[in-house]
Amino acid sequence: MSRKLRFGILGAGRIGPVHAETLAYRAPQAECVVIADINLAAAEAVAARYSIPNVVDSATAVIDDPGIDAIVLCTPTNTHAGIIAHAAQAGKHIFCEKPVSQSLAEIDASIAAVEAAGVKMQVGFNRRFDSNFMRVRKAVESGEIGTPNLFHIVSRDPFPPPLSYLRPSGGIFLDMMIHDFDMARFLMGEVEEVFASGAVLVDPGFAAEDDFDTAIAMLKFASGAIGTIDNSRKSTFGYDQRVEILGSKGKIATENRYSNEVVVSGEKCVYTDLPHNFFMQRYPESFALELQMFVEAVLEDKPVPVTGADSRAPVVMALAARKSVDERRPVRLAEISS
């Protein structure tokens, strides 16, 4: 394809504008020609900010437009499967925000629809494209730290979402730890077993929603390595995103990122400003790079870097984690079939 890849963005809420910005300024081989949202005013605001020439109030109008090559799917998760089926049938390539669905049956149907149509689908596990985490993976792959034995992720949000967000989100394992389950696979390979614990320590409202605001998962990898993920919905000092792997020849660790590197030394203490506050500030490069790689995969007919299968595995892990908490026992992923 010699011309630019023509995109339609579906959904102008929190994440839609992030991808609109990439298409506007950081993807020279692509352009966003339309944005759709059932809340037309939201779509109009994003269109004005990023000079998107067309605004519509339905996903269908974008999908059925023969002038559109690909969609960026940024509507709520429970709408993804239906839109993917329609878009694949219409021959559109699909960049779908994570997760494809909370239902394994819907994920399988989406993967089948995309395969049958011969279009590409990439899933938005953006943290894989963060330079720190890419460097950690390189260390593991190259044997730089020997055989990885112990793995830890700390992943804590600065503040909890509104309680109304929780129930449709699927809860802490499907909504929040899902990124960390993906990171665990990305860095260490397949997981075989999850043993999880959840607690309500930040806001009692989480209990009424049958959810947790604090959780730990212990993972057993197929390689024999073991690891932990810890999540909290409240980290008073900002977005706490760290990884450490201990291998037979050494250790690799990533620290939080900051908006500046200033160190203030006073009479009583030495200090820095706080780390980035949330994912928009912490991960902008990864959001740009994932979409750039999708554009490249479509234009050059290369495999996408994050596949439908990659989107299924962390959902299995999240379902296993919830089952583990409910049944107070380690759960093998092989037990999860729906």
User: Which residue ranges make up the site for ligand NAD (CB under 6 A)?
Assistant: 10-16, 36-39, 42, 59, 74-77, 79, 97-98, 124, 126, 279
Query: Closest distance between ligand NAD and the C-beta of residue 58, in Å?
Result: 6
Distance CA 214, CA 231 (A): 6
Amino acid at 49: R
**By C-beta, is 53 or 168 nearer to ligand NAD?**
168
Closer residue to ligand NAD (CB): 38 or 226: 38
Instruction: Report in angstroms how near the CB of residue 279 gets to ligand NAD at its nearest.
Output: 5
User: 16 vs 227, which CB is nearer to ligand NAD?
Assistant: 16
CB 319, min distance to ligand NAD, A: 16
Q: What are phi and psi of 71, to 5 degrees?
A: -120, 150
Nearer to ligand NAD, 71 or 336 (CB): 71
User: What residue type is 84 in one-letter code?
Assistant: I
In the complex with ligand NAD, which residue's Cβ is closer, 15 or 194? Answer: 15
Residue nearest to ligand NAD (CB): 13
- Cα(40)–Cα(11) distance, rounded to whole angstroms? 10
Shortest gap between Cβ of 263 and ligand NAD (angstroms)?
30
Beta strands 331-332 and 148-156 are unpaired
| Residues whose CB is less than 8 angstroms from the CB of residue 116 and which lie 6 or more positions away in sequence, other chains included | 88
Alpha carbon distance 225, 1 (integer Å): 44
β-partners of residue 271 are: 264
DSSP conformation letters of 206-227: HHHTT--SEEEEEEEETTS-EE
Q: Which is nearer to ligand NAD, 37 or 310 (CB)?
A: 37
Is the bond leading into 99 cis (omega within 30 degrees of zero)?
yes
Report in angstroms how near the CB of residue 234 gets to ligand NAD at its nearest: 18
Q: How far is the CB of 329 from ligand NAD (least distance, A)?
A: 29
Q: Which helix (H) or strand (E) holds 133?
A: helix 131-142
